[in-house]
Each structure stands twice: as C-alpha cells, then as structure tokens.
Amino acid sequence: MINCANSEETIRQVRNKTDTVILSFSRGRDSIASYLTIKDKFPNLLLVHFYYVPHLKFMDDSIRYYEQAFGQRIIQLPHPFFFKWWTTMTFQAPENSPIVVHTLGDFMQTTFDRTLSNLCDHMGVDYKAVYQAIGLKKADSLFRRQHIGRVGSICKNRHFYPVWDWSHKDCYAAISKAGLHLPVDYAIFGRTFDGLDAKFTLPLKRYFPEDYRRLLLWFPMVEAETKRYEIWQKRTLN
C-alpha cells in the first residue's frame, strides 16, 4: 500500500517499478481518462476489455472506434462474471444445466488475476512484473473514497489508480480535449453495460434488438426479467 499525494506521483512511482501496465478498459469515462493520462508514460501498455456477453455489436463497434482512435489493439477477454452467471445458472434455461455442469465446471474459479496471468503467459510477459491500472476515483462514491484511503493509490496486489484524485469534470475535459466521445452506452444506459438486470436489458431490447437476441442465446431466461418490467412500466404509465 502506497499513499501518494496526487495521481501524477502515483503514475511516477509505478513507472519507477515497471514499464509494463495492463489497463482494464471498460470503455467508460474513467478508463478512457486513465488511458489518456498514462499512454505516454509506459512503453508497454496493454488494453484489456472484459466483456459480460460475447460480441454484442454495439460493444464491438465501440471497441473498434477506440482501437482506431488509440492506434492499438484492445484485447477482449470474458469477464469472470460471465462464467459465474453460467455456473450459477443465472437466467439459464433448465435444459442447459447438463452443458453447464459437464463443460464449465473448470471455470468456477475464474478470476481477473487468473485470466490476466494466462494472458501474460501467452504473450511471454512476466505477470509478476506487471501493474494493472484501474479507472477508479475517490469522487465516485463514499465507498470508493474509503477504499482508496484504506488501500492507497498503489495497492500491494500491483493495482493502481491513475486518476484517483480526478473529478468527473476533469475526466470529461480530458476526453473532450483528445477529441474522443463516450460510447453509446451512456446515451441508453447512463453508464457502460455491465449487468443482466432490467436497467440494461430493457434499453438493449428497445435500441439494439439484434444484440438483445444474442444476449438471449446465452441467458434465455433474461426475457422473463425484461417482460416483468415491461408489464410493470405499462401498468405504471396507465
């Protein structure tokens, strides 16, 4: 745990320890701002996007946009929640249970650390020498302010927060100055897509029906959750 005076010192101290960083790139405001503030500081910067559902078109489109804007590849990997939802039969059809039990048991213990370690092994990178950048700010919530105060802006597990002392306004200003725009998620969800609850599935069904159908291929019973809220909305409006 290292408490730094500001984000610039945080980045400087991490750079003194390593030249290789993995940025967890959610496509969200804070991860974009994190990229912009560290892109010229680390010779080896890997961008990794953890998807919740494979190849939703609106997400793939934004990944391609940022790859072109940044001039580098964004590696896409399954979020641990994807396997957790499957192995716990979340919104899963009963007839799919044999498939889950017999084919996904080994993924029960999938974690970010395990996934990134495997990635580094594949790329010939020493994972123990890599630091992971995460776009987390103390201004986000009381919980995050307490978290950063407790673990520091550079954690003992080699995580660090390059924009931890930034405000929302600072992030928007950096993104605007770079000539970038936020993903479409913000227009329809108010944030980046990261769940299976109705606040995501209802807008997805309305604005991206093809992606919604793809979501149902993986989690078919999501339709019951979506339909329940559609009925509730109609009753409320009437």
Residue whose token pair is 């105060």: 149
What does the alpha-carbon distance between residue 229 and residue 224 come to, in Å, rounded to a whole number? Answer: 9
SS3 193: coil
Q: Please spell the DSSP secondary structure of 111-151, one letter per residue.
A: -HHHHHHHHHHHHT--GGG-EEE----TTS-HHHHHHHHHH
Residue 54 confidence class, pLDDT cut points 50, 70, 90: very high
What does the alpha-carbon distance between residue 54 and residue 82 come to, in Å, rounded to a whole number? Answer: 9
Q: Alpha helix locations (H) across 40-196?
A: 57-70, 80-87, 97-103, 112-123, 142-151, 168-177, 185-188
Residue whose token pair is 């974690």: 111
Q: Provide the pLDDT for residue 96.
A: 81
Q: What are the pLDDT digits (tens) for 194-225?
A: 999 999 999 999 999 999 999 999 999 999 98
1.10.1380.10, 1.10.150.120, 1.10.340.30, 3.40.50.620: CATH of 7-191: 3.40.50.620
Average pLDDT over residues 165-184: 97
pTM above 0.85, yes or no: yes
For the chain, give every domain's residue range.
Answer: 7-191
Q: Provide the pLDDT for residue 68.
A: 98
Which of 99, 110, 124 has its CA nearest to residue 46?
124
| Candidate ranges 35-39, 142-146, 148-152, 234-238; pick with highest mean pLDDT | 35-39
Q: What is the mean pLDDT of the chain?
A: 92
Q: What are the pLDDT digits (tens) for 4-40?
A: 889 999 999 999 999 999 999 999 999 999 999 999 9
